[in-house]
């Protein structure tokens, strides 16, 4: 048995009344890749933040390399050889790669010497671990996969022996994720210890040696990866059996509900994000749009739902045109039976400072059901909210609670309940389960399929390939603003991954 790189003994941490970590014990062996899985809010990130000195544990002991360690600031952690790659990159966007790497670890008070030293050191690290990045590139001009590489380089430059990665693949294409895994395996071969925090069980199975499962602030189990299954891990995470793939029958596609023709949309910088896209959405089917984030899916959704003006093209809803290049507004589209669950529930879907019942009618607040004369009918609104809470199992079941106090999954259910309960003919959903727990994912998927079976037309945009594959009756792949291919749900992940990376398109052009 290899020596432990890190031991956590009896770690407790509370935020006010919330016990984020309860008596956590964890041992991570040197030179291994150790996965930590758990639902959102299970306490994974808190535990790692304690290890990285971002927070202090209320009680408990941390041992690094067998010796008790006092980690009060990130500086202490860095000194002990712990490096962290955060979920949201901690990079200065308008600095160069080199400047980001040396920030906080400058060897000299003058930059010239520090940068010269870092440049040669980076070259060595690049050769050793296959981490190629142009040291003079500006961060905001790099794709996310490379930005993440800079984060890893930052940790290695500081002499990290133990590397913690928090949800590293959330923003990556399948190909980029594979590359990351190759890098991690290489790091492991060089004797580094890797801690991988994720909620994607497939990744855990693919790359880790051991996996620990957290649930509601406690460490419920640690397993050797080879001896466990995805099903067992999912059950441990949620505390009950979960269906990882929702059962569904054949789609019975009916009439065309939404016809998009030659739609072109530009973003605020004037860059064409949606380039001449055409597709039909029929009653009784779910069409999934796959693609790496930033390939125009967001702009497509915004245009169809009337939030963003299109440059040209036409969209017919139930055979009647929507004036997307001009005055179409989301309210009018709602009246015509097009409901929209936006990608970004925090900024577009909900007002977090509002009570739950207020959010549950947002956008439909002019509906007669919620009005008494010119005033809101508070009783009707609250009763309506209570119905939705019951029907969608929103927890906690308190319609007066501030929306910010619900978990991500329950917030998403609030938005879904609001849009689905209006009985729309067409439902457009962006990232239906982003930041949502395994248990809630199952629920949301079932609901979407139920909508389909009722004969509604459903358009789903998601960066999660698994989700697209398990929900969709037809899959459209977007790359660089165009639809580069249509596949059935039986398409393999590799096939879709290549389309998402734009590979096939380029080959076809040759």
Partner 1 sequence: MDLFNAIIQVLDSTIRLSVPLLLACLAGLYSERAGVFDIGLEGKMLVGAFAGAAAASVFHSALIGLGMAILISVAFAMIHGFASITHRGNQIVSGVAINFIAAGSTIMLGQAWFSQGGRTPALAPGERFEAINWPGAEALRAVPILGPIYAELISGHSILVYLAFLIVPFTWWVLFRTRFGLRLRAVGENPAAVDTAGISVAWLRYRALICTGVLTGIAGAYLSMVQNGGFVKDMTAGKGYIALAALIFAKWKPVNAMFACLLFGFLDALSIRLQGTPLPVIGKVPVQFMQALPYVLTVILLAGFIGKAIPPRAGGVPYVKER
Residue 427: strand pairing partners: 339, 458
**Least distance CB 92 / partner 1 (angstroms):** 5
Question: How far from the centroid of its chain's Cα atoms is residue 157's Cα?
Answer: 28
| Residue among 5, 24, 37, 84 that touches partner 1 (CB under 8 A) | 84
59-64, strands of its sheet edge to edge: 18-29, 4-15, 59-64, 67-69
Q: CB under 8 A: which stretch of 71-79, 178-186, 233-241, 334-342 binds partner 1?
A: 71-79
Count, residues near partner 1 per rule CB under 8 A: 33
Q: CB under 8 A: which stretch of 28-36, 73-81, 191-199, 395-403 binds partner 1?
A: 73-81
**What is the DSSP-derived secondary structure letter of residue 250?**
-
338-341, strands of its sheet edge to edge: 338-341, 426-430, 457-461, 286-290, 474-479, 482-487
Q: Binding to partner 1 by residue 110, rule CB under 8 A?
A: yes
| Residue among 8, 33, 47, 91 that touches partner 1 (CB under 8 A) | 91
> What is the C-alpha to C-alpha distance for residues 365 and 369, in angstroms, rounded to an integer?
9
**Least distance CB 505 / partner 1 (angstroms):** 34
Give 73 or 229: the residue with its C-beta nearer to partner 1. 73
| Cα atoms in the Cβ-side hemisphere of radius 13 Å centred on 204 | 29
Give 69 or 483: the residue with its C-beta nearer to partner 1. 69
**How far, CA to CA in Å, does 42 sit from each of 9, 18, 39, 60, 215?**
18, 11, 5, 18, 5
Q: Residues 233, 213: contact at Cβ < 8 Å?
A: yes
| Residue among 86, 149, 192, 388 that touches partner 1 (CB under 8 A) | 86
Question: How far from the centroid of its chain's Cα atoms is residue 310's Cα?
Answer: 27
Q: Binding to partner 1 by residue 237, rule CB under 8 A?
A: no
Cα angle for residues 438, 440, 446 (degrees, 5° grid) = 105
Q: CB under 8 A: which stretch of 59-67, 105-113, 274-282, 388-396 binds partner 1?
A: 105-113
**Least distance CB 89 / partner 1 (angstroms):** 8
Per-residue binder mask for partner 1 (CB under 8 A), 135-154, x = binder? -------------------x
Q: CB under 8 A: which stretch of 86-94, 191-199, 222-230, 346-354 binds partner 1?
A: 86-94
**Least distance CB 485 / partner 1 (angstroms):** 37
Q: CB under 8 A: which stretch of 91-99, 121-129, 167-175, 377-385 binds partner 1?
A: 91-99
* ω into 48 cis (within 30 of 0): no
> What is the C-alpha to C-alpha distance for residues 37 and 204, in angstroms, rounded to an integer?
8
**Least distance CB 134 / partner 1 (angstroms):** 19
**Least distance CB 95 / partner 1 (angstroms):** 7
Give 90 or 271: the residue with its C-beta nearer to partner 1. 90
> What is the C-alpha to C-alpha distance for residues 319 and 317, in angstroms, rounded to an integer?
5
**Least distance CB 111 / partner 1 (angstroms):** 6
**Least distance CB 154 / partner 1 (angstroms):** 8
Q: Per CB under 8 A, which of residues 18..57 are in contact with partner 1?
A: 45-46, 52, 54
| Residue among 59, 73, 312, 405 that touches partner 1 (CB under 8 A) | 73
Long-range Cβ pairs for the range 89-96 (8 Å, 24+): 89/144, 89/147, 89/148, 89/150, 89/151, 90/151, 91/139, 91/147, 91/150, 91/151, 92/139, 93/138, 93/139, 93/140, 94/138, 94/139, 94/140, 95/138, 95/139, 96/135, 96/136, 96/137, 96/138, 96/139
Q: Binding to partner 1 by residue 74, rule CB under 8 A?
A: yes
Q: CB under 8 A: which stretch of 109-117, 194-202, 294-302, 434-442 binds partner 1?
A: 109-117
Q: Binding to partner 1 by residue 100, rule CB under 8 A?
A: yes
> What is the C-alpha to C-alpha distance for residues 110 and 230, in angstroms, rounded to an integer?
52
- Write down the H helix ranges in 315-377: 330-335, 356-359
Structure-token pair, residue 402? 């501030």
Q: CB under 8 A: which stretch of 99-107, 214-222, 420-428, 458-466 binds partner 1?
A: 99-107
The residues that touch partner 1, with contacts defined as CB under 8 A, are 15, 45-46, 52, 54, 73-75, 77-78, 84, 86, 88, 90-95, 99-100, 102-106, 108-112, 114, 154
């Amino acid at each position: 048995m290899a020596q432990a790189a890190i031991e956590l003994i009896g770690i407790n941490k509370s935020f006010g009344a919330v016990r984020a970590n309860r008596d956590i014990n964890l041992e991570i062996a040197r030179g291994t890749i150790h996965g930590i899985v758990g639902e959102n809010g299970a306490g994974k990130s808190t535990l790692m933040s304690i290890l990285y000195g971002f927070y202090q544990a209320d009680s408990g002991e941390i041992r690094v390399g067998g010796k008790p360690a006092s980690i009060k600031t990130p500086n202490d952690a860095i000194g002990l050889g712990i490096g962290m790659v955060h979920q949201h990159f901690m990079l200065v966007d308008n600095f160069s790669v080199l400047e980001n790497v040396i920030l906080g670890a400058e060897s000299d008070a003058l930059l010239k010497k520090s940068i010269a030293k870092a440049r040669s050191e980076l070259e060595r690290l690049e050769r050793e671990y296959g981490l190629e990045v142009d040291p003079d590139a500006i961060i905001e001009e790099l794709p996310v996969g490379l930005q993440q590489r800079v984060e890893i380089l930052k940790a290695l430059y500081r002499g990290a022996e133990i590397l913690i990665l928090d949800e590293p693949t959330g923003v990556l294409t399948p190909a980029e994720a594979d590359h990351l895994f190759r890098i991690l395996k290489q790091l492991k071969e060089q004797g580094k210890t890797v801690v991988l925090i994720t909620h994607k069980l497939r990744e855990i199975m693919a790359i880790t040696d051991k996996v620990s499962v957290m649930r509601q602030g406690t460490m419920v189990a640690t397993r050797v990866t080879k001896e466990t299954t995805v099903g067992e891990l999912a059950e441990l995470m949620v505390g009950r059996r979960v269906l990882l793939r929702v059962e569904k029958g054949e789609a019975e596609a009916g009439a065309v509900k939404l016809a998009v023709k030659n739609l072109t949309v530009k973003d605020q910088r004037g860059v064409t994000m949606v380039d001449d896209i055409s597709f039909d959405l029929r009653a009784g089917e779910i069409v999934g749009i796959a693609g790496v984030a930033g390939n125009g899916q967001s702009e497509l959704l915004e245009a169809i739902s009337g939030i963003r003006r299109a440059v040209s093209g036409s969209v017919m809803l139930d055979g009647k045109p929507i004036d997307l290049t001009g005055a179409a507004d989301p309210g009018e589209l709602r009246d015509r039976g097009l409901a929209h669950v936006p990608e970004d529930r925090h900024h577009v879907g909900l007002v977090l400072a509002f009570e739950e019942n207020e959010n549950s009618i947002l956008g439909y607040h002019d509906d007669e059901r919620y009005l008494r004369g010119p005033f809101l009918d508070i009783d009707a609104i609250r009763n309506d909210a209570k119905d939705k809470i019951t029907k969608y199992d929103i927890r906690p079941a308190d319609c007066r609670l501030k929306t910010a106090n619900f978990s991500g999954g329950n917030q998403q259910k609030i938005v879904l309940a609001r849009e689905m309960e209006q009985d729309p003919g067409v439902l457009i959903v962006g990232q239906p389960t982003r930041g949502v727990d395994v248990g809630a994912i199952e629920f949301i998927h079932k609901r979407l399929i139920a909508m389909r079976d009722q004969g509604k037309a459903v358009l789903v945009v998601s960066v999660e390939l698994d989700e697209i594959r398990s929900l969709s009756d037809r899959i459209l792949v977007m790359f660089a603003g165009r639809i580069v291919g249509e596949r059935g749900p039986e398409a393999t992940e590799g096939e879709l991954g290549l389309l998402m990376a734009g590979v096939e398109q380029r080959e076809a052009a040759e």
